[in-house]
Structure 1
Amino acid sequence: MASTLLVATACSSGQAEADLPRLKLDASRTTVSGLSSGAYMATQVHMAFSDHIAGVALLAGGPYACAEGNLDTALKKCLGPNPENMPDIAHLASIARTRADDGLIASLDGLAGDKVLVMHGVLDATVSAGISAAGGELYRLLGGAVVVTDMQRAMAHTFPTLAAGSACDESESPYIGACGFDGAGELLAQLDAGEAVAGEVATGELRTFNQSAYLPDAQDAMLADTGYVYIPKACSDGETCGLHVAFHGCQQNAANVGEAFVSQAGYNRWADARRLVVLYPQTRASYAPLNPKACWDWWGYTGSQYDTRNGVQLRWLVNAAAALGVPLE
């Protein structure tokens, strides 16, 4: 698969915890975001649980159900295809409507008022601008959501930060670009209501936790043993906070880049300012099923129900969010 895809620091326990902490969270402030395969995962989560999720930010990703459960389709139509081989948005909208009617994803009424940010860099040679635009087009066709596009920034296939990471015009590990632009701050401003001013460094706690504790029916969700969660001090002290789930891109999991994404993407400083807990789930690479770059499942390597409420990675997230105190179903 194409590679996919961070300046604050925070303390990490360095040892996996058995459980996520139960916190006082406002479920109406639950949002998701992701880069590339993480963007595809974020839109799958949003469509499946839009009745509980208030918004989504898609960085260099495409429309829901684009791959239709087929890796060949994913490669040919959902990354950088020519204009003659673009996904059929009307067809994907029909899939979404049918799935909503069948209860496989949330009712499309759940999209009403949800914030959708579509971001894409003009130097991106991995995912085409047309694919990212199609993600926003699908939401507009389905109706209800408030779609904002940000498509003209001079950045490659990378997560934009003020100063952390590689050159902004390069797509290289850890797929974090020093773009002079605070991508995490911008997307959280779009998704989470209210003004906020972030400090220069994060002051909360970046914890590890045992992801295996939240596997549905002990099924393998193709996740790493250890995940991360960032908890601002105000949230650990009992204040009511929101929840944001940030999905890394392919080859951007901790096994590949260490804590670069979870500590340097810029989410944590803004989490302090906005009173947001940030969950950073982690995938793992495999060859059977074929996923050597540790991408999120957006084409069906975990099973045919991967992008519905029955998908094992989505059901894992339901369990993890519930442990933190947020119901997704």
Structure 2
Amino acid sequence: MRWTALLVLGLLATGVQAAPLPKLKLDPHRVAVAGLSSGAYMATQMQLAYPDMFPYAAIVAGGPYGCAGGKLDAALSSCMKGTPGADVSALVAKATQRADAGDNGALKYLAHGKAYLLHGRDDALVAPSVAEAGAQFYQRLRDTVPGLKAFQVVDDGHRAFAHNLPIAATGDDCDKSVSPYLGHCGFDAAGEIFAQLYGKPPHAVGDAKGELRTFDQNAYRVGGVDPLLADEGYLYVPPACAAGKPCGLLVAFHGCKQNAAAVGEAFVKDAGFNRWADAYDVAVLYPQTRASMAPLNPQACWDWWGYSGSDYDTRRGAQPRWVANVVEQLGVAGKH
């Protein structure tokens, strides 16, 4: 009893370490990224940096890849307000050049992939014109890069909602952008994202019955480099995945001020992804950022303008490398 008491006291004093990530039986053909706002830009960056790992992406209220060009002033103007407008042709040329140079993965892996772009007509934070430029980026990439004719681009910009992720419940905040940025719009964006990326659900959807786990994000740093993330992230494991059945994987990136430190578990529990994950047998990874003043990121955004270094939007960037490493640890190896 004495040793048990000492062990308990030791755990209370030092804090209990989050469990390591499980090794899942993942189908590499059912791996995708999705994100809102800064998370949308991050999802695009992951798809372009690792097209071999993420041929499917859902972009909610985000703009074209490489839009900021490493400049915060461009991020705040062209890439949010749409003034001046982004030079989409130049961004496509740069993305192609990076792939050819090996800074990003080979674009041929997008040949049978898809980009689903969802944005609201009432978005006052990321202008609809910016989101349209994001769709145009993918369309021109498809039309100019040899071998990508079958790459699917779906531009869903006709719905009325503000800068948030719409959820199935109804309320009075669909036309607002307020914490936790889950708009009660009567439109289940999570369900539409799953349908766009994974097809029709193989079985009925109900309440989430899987397990939402925390894990130590620091344990997956690459080469000891700090990716400027929170100490803990989340992983939702549907019952079928926990039982060892083959599963897909969705990496879901929250938006600015939507990390767990800001909104608790609202995004990871209430965005709607988990119940659809059960229906599709898809695990959901919810990585978490952290707010900082040095480097300047007070709103805990994903890095889409360069606060983590000049390689932020390539496969040498600290955050993309970290995400790819975590996905590999879960059981999906990229084609390096």
Is the contact between residue 19 and residue 214 of structure 2 (CA under 8 Å) also seen in structure 1? no
The 3 A distance-change label for structure 1 pair 111 and 163 is: same
TM-score by length of 1: 0.93
Map of 1:61 onto structure 2: 62
Counterpart of 1:74 in structure 2 is 75
For the 8 Å contact 1:174–1:252, the answer to whether it is kept is yes
Q: Which residue of 1 aligns with 2:199?
A: 193
Which digits, 9 at most, give the CA deviation of each residue in 1:191-239, with x for residues without a partner?
A: 1134345433100000000000001111110100000000001100010
Q: Kindly indicate whether residue 87 of structure 2 is the aligned counterpart of residue 88 of structure 1.
A: yes
The C-alpha deviation readout for 1:128-186, integer Å capped at 9, x for no partner, is 11110111111111112200011011111000101178611110000001110000000
Equivalence for 1:3: none
Task: Name the aligned partner's letter for residue 117 of structure 1.
Answer: Y
Q: Which amino acid aligns with 2:61?
A: A
Classify the secondary structure of the residue corresponding to 1:200: coil
Q: Match for 1:304: what amino acid?
A: S
Deviations along 1:89-118, whole A, 9 cap, x unmatched? Answer: 011011101101110111121221211111
Q: Which residue of 1 aligns with 2:226?
A: 220
Bigger CA drift: 303-312 or 160-169? 160-169
Is residue 34 of structure 2 the alignment partner of residue 39 of structure 1? no
Identity %: 54
Check if 1:134 corresponds to 2:172: no
Indicate conservation of the 8 Å contact 1:164/1:264, yes or no: no
Q: Aligned equivalents of 2:202 and 2:66: distance in 1? A: 34
Distance 1:206 1:277 in 2: 10
Q: Once the 2 structures are TM-superposed, how far is the Cα of residue 50 of structure 1 from its aligned partner? A: 0.9
Corresponding residue for 2:157?
Answer: 151
For 1:188, give the aligned amino acid: F
Give the number of aligned pairs.
Answer: 314
Partner residue, 2:31: 30
TM-score by length of 2: 0.91
Which fold has the larger relative contact order, with Cα–Cα distance below 8 Å and residues 6 or more apart in sequence? 1
Contact 2:49 2:314 in 1 (8 A): yes
Deviations 1:234-268 (A, max 9, x none): 10001000010000000000000000000000000
Aligned residue runs from structure 1 range 247-258, under 5 A: 247-258=253-264
In 2, the alpha carbon distance for the partners of 1:214 and 1:102 equals 27
C-alpha RMSD of matched pairs (Å): 1.4
Residue 122 (structure 2) pairs with residue 116 (structure 1): no
Corresponding residue to 1:232 among 222, 234, 238: 238
C-alpha distance in 1 between matches for 2:96 and 2:291: 32
Q: Identify which of 211, 218, 221 aligns with 2:217.
A: 211
Please tell me whether Structure 1 or Structure 2 has the larger radius of gyration of its CA atoms: 2
Aligned-partner SS, 1:216: coil
| 1:56–1:166 CA distance, 2 compared to 1 (3 A) | farther
Query: Which SS does the other structure have where 1:208 is aligned?
Result: strand
Structure 1 pair 34/126, CA: closer, same or farther in 2 (3 Å)? same
The 8 Å contact of residues 201 and 279 in structure 2, kept in 1 or not, is answered as no
